Amino acid sequence: MAATSTNPALQALNVRKSFVSGRLESTVLHDLTLDVRAGELTLIAGPSGCGKSTLLAILSGLQPADAGQVRALGHELGGMSMRALEHFRLQHTGFVFQGFNLFPALSALEQVELPLSYMGLAKSAARRRAVESLEEVGLGPRMQLLPAELSGGEKQRVAIARALAKQPELLFADEPTSALDAANGQIVIDILHRIARNHGTTVLCVSHDPRLVGHADRVLAMEDGRILSDHVPTPPAEPKAKEPSA
């Protein structure tokens, strides 16, 4: 790995991606370069259609880029075999999807245990970790319930617990709040922030939801397949403490 002073957890260098539809080729990512610092919650914010999901899929190794390089935890993803990439994704990354992607017939606890058994964890260790993760997202008392018995916000918290239980270094979230009302969206983004803070996990979230901006450690604004700006947001003001009554 090239020696750099900061060693970001994730780097994209001149990443290009186009899709061909009929005779038309449209470029979705235009030689995009970015880095994501370890242990932070980074938000990539931009309007619908600007290429956020495509970028996240490429950075997480779900899709290949047409050109350019992606380096994750010091590994060049483009240079990996399919098998190595699959192993890397299983062992080091977690992914939270917009639509939760839960199995209808499995309880919250079983949803979280499933990837842990794929990772080769013994049943008792998987159970312990799954329970811990569900407790961390506030779902301890509801872990035996099926998705149909949970609210949207709770379903998304199960999906986060499932990703968190893998203890990934990199956690990706694609529009994790878009199916939720403001209060539940707030809970979800607070949980992602806490995961970055408490576990040192690098969390990369993409969203078109402007409410999330103040909650990230860093915001990259994206438009039309390009990163336009990079800033550290001002956190939202805490509600004022009430004056003690005389």
Q: Which stretch in 45-53, 132-140, 152-160, 163-171 sits in contact with ligand ADP by CB under 6 A?
A: 45-53
Choose between 58 and 108: whose C-beta lies nearer to Mg ion.
58
Site for ligand ADP in 7-36 (CB under 6 A): 19, 21, 28
Of residues 54, 60, 111, 156, which one binds ligand ADP by CB under 6 A?
A: 54
Minimum Å gap between C-beta 72 and ligand ADP is: 19
Choose between 134 and 206: whose C-beta lies nearer to Mg ion.
206
64 binds ligand ADP (CB under 6 A): no
Backbone angles phi, psi at 78, to 5 degrees: -65, -20
Of residues 53, 111, 201, 202, which one binds Mg ion by CB under 5 A?
A: 53
Choose between 40 and 209: whose C-beta lies nearer to ligand ADP.
209
Minimum Å gap between C-beta 49 and ligand ADP is: 5
Q: How far apart are CA 172 and CA 57, in angstroms?
A: 9
Choose between 36 and 205: whose C-beta lies nearer to Mg ion.
205
Q: How far is CA 228 from CA 46, 217, 222, in A?
A: 10, 17, 6
Find residue 223's DSSP bridge partners. Answer: 226
Q: How far apart are CA 108 and CA 130, in angstroms?
A: 9
Report yes or no: 58 and 12 within 8 Å, Cβ to Cβ: yes
Q: How far apart are CA 118 and CA 125, in angstroms?
A: 13
Nearest to 171 by CA among 188, 148, 185, 150: 188
> Site residues (CB under 6 A) for ligand ADP?
19, 21, 28, 46, 48-54
